[in-house]
Chains A and B, each alone.
Chain A
Amino acid sequence: MSEVLTTETIKEIDHWLSKFPVGKQRSAIIGSLHAAQHQNHGFLTSELMDAVAAYIDVPKIQVYEVATFYSMFQTKNVGKHEISICTNISCMLRGSDEILSHVEKRLGIDVGESTSDGNIFLKQEEECLAACTGAPMMMVDHVYIENLDIRKVDEILDRLEGKS
């Protein structure tokens, strides 16, 4: 048993482990890191990564390699809510740059930064999020919100800031 990982996380890791052949538990690293990151409200610590490595029995380095390669894993505390505004081609053509500057201005931060109260993290999103026909779009805590305009964005920010 692990003291760092919660019972809930362990259950989730076991679920991932059950999908792969014996001896191929390395395949469960990504799923396990999702679970560990969720437990820790959005970011991974060395302690958590080491606990995952120990629990699924792989070398620590294999877990670090994964945690640093994939853009959905954060290795420092970035904030409570995560916003990704897609600025890839289809979204750009439909005004995503204005949406992004509006959000930056309203939050007083640049893309890639978090608000000083740690409430909102404005992720630097490079990938197209595969909702191009609903452009411009953004992802808020992994929920897709499409066909954005400034009013809609303001409503969402109000909600995240607890104003509505």
Chain B
Amino acid sequence: MSKYNQVIYANINESNSWTLDEYLKQGGYSVWKQILSDQSNKTSEWVIEEVKKSGLRGRGGAGFPTGLKWSFMPKNDDQKYIVCNSDESEPGTCHDRDILKYNPHALVEGMAIAGYAIGATVGYNYVRGEFMLECYPRIDAAVKDAYDAGLLGVNVLDSGIDFDLYNFLGAGAYICGEETGLLESLEGKQGKPRFKPPFPANYGLYGKPTTVNNTQTLATIPKILEKGAKWYADFGTEKSPGTLIFSISGHVNKPGNYELPLGISFEEVIDVAGGILDGKKLKAVIPGGSSTKVLPAEIIQNCTMDYESLQDADSALGTGAMVVISEGTCMVELLKRISRFYYAESCGQCTPCREGTGWLYRILDRITNGQGKESDLALLVDVAGRIEGNTICAFGDASAWPVQSFIKHYHHEFEYMIQNKGKTLAA
């Protein structure tokens, strides 16, 4: 079986892995301390170059190269911010939760280093509200302990560098995971995404230059700089360097979060997760969270788990949340559930999304209730097409893609249900 948990999750099975003592024992904060004491060699440009060389791509779903994103920050004396997206809410995804719970100091150190690289003296970590009692106390204790150890604050370890870090708690809204919705929420407003451009690098939190990165992205930074960009990159492939934490859920024997090298074969991933539940046959996989397009077994079985391979298969790696679906599952019911989610969570700002997600859900609902019409499939595809690309943020696309891909690959199941008054073909 392939090796897993080698970078971000390397320490999570140690007892008390979340404490400062344990993190220090594992070499934690060594990079941050080196930077602080040797700023003439470890310049912000050096940090950004190393991150670029590591090939790290944003783990929040879009896969944008992290070093490049950091280089977009203006080099003026304006107040700048680094914001961490710990809103983790893409259905199927739950690996940031384990970082917050078991390796919170890696995130604290990663944010401090990122702040240094982009010239931000203040950072906010936006944690989803539902993590109130579970993850939040861990990450909050980590920040407090880092302050007490003199690793955060004004003039950190006499270096002349200031870095303040604050945790923030959301209150339940999927849309706050979208980075500009998150910034609005952080400003105390409804989490309605902003029109872009301007991008956060120019107009972010309180209108100031801001970089928003995902929890996993930031928590990877210390290890990359400690062990070298090449060390990290070599885990993966040329175009998808490094490791990724896969949340493997659904019909597998050992669901779990597994950090694996990118480019690993699909078969190996399923092997790590203990194989398909109850010895059944694989039917389909949603490879990167509910917003990515579903792939039938025949297609995903020939994929490697990396950015290019899944893109070539007309889906995406997304958040690495693989939802595994075995034979016997009704794809119409599953799509209906996905569409209910997008309908409920649309922030309502853009008409195509606000109205369109309702249409999608209601049509699917009537199909499963036995009241579908022959014309409904064309109508679903039509409505999805009118949402896609016509909204302020990518939520609209995320609501359209599942519909398009489910109907493309499982057309016969939808047709059968319409013709047979709601009876499923799957059972």
| Residue of B92, B131, B168 touching A128 (CB-CB under 8 A) | B92
Instruction: Check if B171 sits within 8 Å of A132, measured CB to CB.
Output: no
Q: A78 CA to B42 CA in the complex, in Å?
A: 55
Q: Is A90 an interface residue (CB 8 A)?
A: yes
| Residue of B187, B189, B250, B257 touching A90 (CB-CB under 8 A) | B250
Chain A window 65-83, contacts with chain B (Cβ cutoff 8 Å), 1 for yes, 0 for no: 1100111110000000000
Q: Is A126 an interface residue (CB 8 A)?
A: yes
Instruction: Check if B94 sits within 8 Å of A126, measured CB to CB.
Output: no
Instruction: Check if B172 sits within 8 Å of A89, measured CB to CB.
Output: no
Given the interface pairs A21-B206, A92-B337, A93-B251, the reply to whether A132 lies near B188 with Cβ below 8 Å is: no
Number of A residues near B (Cβ < 8 Å) is 42
Nearest-CB distance from A86 to chain B (Å)? 9
Q: Is A9 an interface residue (CB 8 A)?
A: no
Instruction: List the A side residues contacting B132 at CB < 8 Å.
Output: 34, 142
85-110 of chain B: CB within 8 A of chain A: 88-94, 96-97
| Residue of B97, B172, B190 touching A131 (CB-CB under 8 A) | B97
| Residue of A19, A71, A88, A144 touching B173 (CB-CB under 8 A) | A71
Instruction: Check if B129 sits within 8 Å of A72, measured CB to CB.
Output: yes
Most buried by B among A33, A66, A89: A89
174-196 of chain B: CB within 8 A of chain A: 174, 185-191
| Residue of B130, B206, B256, B338 touching A130 (CB-CB under 8 A) | B130
Number of B residues near A (Cβ < 8 Å) is 54
Given the interface pairs A19-B168, A30-B185, A34-B171, the reply to whether A134 lies near B255 with Cβ below 8 Å is: yes
Nearest-CB distance from A49 to chain B (Å)? 13
Q: Is B323 an interface residue (CB 8 A)?
A: yes
Q: A89-B338, A128-B290, A130-B97 are in contact. List 11 more A-B contacts (CB 8 A).
A: A24-B188, A65-B189, A69-B191, A72-B129, A89-B286, A90-B255, A94-B250, A126-B340, A126-B344, A130-B131, A134-B255
A-side residues, CB < 8 A to B, are 19, 21, 24-31, 33-34, 58, 62, 65-66, 69-73, 87-90, 92-94, 126-135, 139, 142-144
9 A-B pairs with least C-beta separation: A70-B171, A71-B172, A26-B188, A90-B249, A126-B344, A72-B172, A128-B91, A132-B249, A69-B190
B-side residues, CB < 8 A to A, are 88-94, 96-97, 124, 128-134, 166, 168-174, 185-191, 206, 247-251, 255-257, 286, 290, 321, 323, 325, 329, 334, 337-338, 340-341, 344-345
A sample of 20 inter-chain contacts (CB < 8 A) reads A30-B171, A34-B132, A62-B189, A89-B290, A89-B323, A93-B323, A94-B250, A126-B340, A126-B341, A127-B130, A127-B172, A128-B290, A130-B89, A130-B97, A133-B247, A133-B256, A134-B94, A134-B255, A142-B132, A143-B133
